[in-house]
């Protein structure tokens, strides 16, 4: 039931936006009562707080991380943040868009967006640590600078912005840019 409620909330937040989605709408879409939503997940704010876990699950983050870690390949480990960003956008781009665009006006969405960003930076920090252990990070590179660079280059919000900009351009304009 909890998973169905979260999936319904995710879908409705992406379709209608956070403000226009009521707990009653989520309950109806999940086939449960509003009281069941409150009892099993909590308030609308609690639903938003769980979106990052749902995004991680739908994008298969644990599987992607495990495969890179087991490979022992520094290149694959270094590519991990980009692979995660791509998986998130492919599987959850709609909800990322809703979070990013709604965060400026909705404090609950800003909390979820900030938590997603914290996880992203922590993931970059883990990648840098793994690369250091593999002796694959150049000694002249400050680890925290590497974390900042990886975080910036593999940021899903930045990638979403780029994708939206490319979608507005014609093939001829894109060819001139490239």
pLDDT > 90? residue 149 = yes
Place of tokens 């999940």: 30
Give mean pLDDT, residues 63-89. 95
pTM listed for this prediction: 0.86
Cα–Cα distance between 95 and 82 in angstroms, integer? Answer: 18
Locate 40 and state its tokens: 């099993």
Instruction: Count Cβ atoms within 10 A of the Cβ of residue 77 and give its class: 0-12 exposed, 13-18 middle, 19 or more buried.
Output: buried
Cα–Cα distance between 127 and 123 in angstroms, integer? Answer: 6
User: Which has the closest alpha carbon to 66: 122, 137, 130?
Assistant: 130
Instruction: Count Cβ atoms within 10 A of the Cβ of residue 105 and give its class: 0-12 exposed, 13-18 middle, 19 or more buried.
Output: exposed
Cα–Cα distance between 82 and 169 in angstroms, integer? Answer: 23
pLDDT of residue 178: 64
Cα–Cα distance between 70 and 166 in angstroms, integer? Answer: 35
| Average of per-residue pLDDT values in the chain | 91
Query: What is the enclosing helix (H) or strand (E) of 30?
Result: helix 23-30
Q: Where are the alpha helices (DSSP H) in 134-155?
A: 143-153
Residues in contact with 3: Cβ distance below 8 Å, sequence separation at least 6, in sequence order: none
pLDDT tens column, 3-55: 899 999 999 998 998 889 999 999 999 999 999 999 999 998 899 888 899 99
Chain mean position to CA 94: 10
Instruction: Count Cβ atoms within 10 A of the Cβ of residue 10 and give its class: 0-12 exposed, 13-18 middle, 19 or more buried.
Output: buried
Between 151 and 101, the higher pLDDT residue: 151
Residues in contact with 39: Cβ distance below 8 Å, sequence separation at least 6, in sequence order: none
């Amino acid at each position: 039931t909890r998973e169905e409620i979260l999936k319904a909330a995710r879908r409705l937040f992406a379709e209608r936006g956070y403000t226009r989605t009521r707990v009653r709408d989520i309950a109806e879409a999940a086939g449960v009562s509003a009281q069941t939503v409150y009892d099993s997940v909590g308030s609308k704010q609690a639903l938003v707080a769980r979106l990052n876990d749902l995004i991680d699950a739908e994008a298969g983050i644990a599987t992607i991380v495990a495969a890179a870690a087991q490979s022992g390949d520094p290149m694959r480990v270094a590519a991990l943040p980009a692979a995660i960003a791509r998986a998130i956008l492919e599987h959850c781009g709609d909800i990322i868009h809703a979070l990013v665009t709604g965060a400026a006006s909705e404090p609950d969405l800003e909390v979820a967006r900030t938590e997603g960003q914290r996880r992203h930076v922590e993931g970059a920090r883990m990648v840098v640590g793994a690369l250091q252990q593999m002796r694959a990070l150049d000694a002249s590179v400050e680890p925290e600078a590497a974390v900042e660079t990886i975080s910036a280059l593999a940021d899903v919000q930045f990638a979403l912005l780029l994708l939206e900009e490319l979608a507005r351009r014609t093939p001829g304009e894109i060819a001139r840019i490239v």
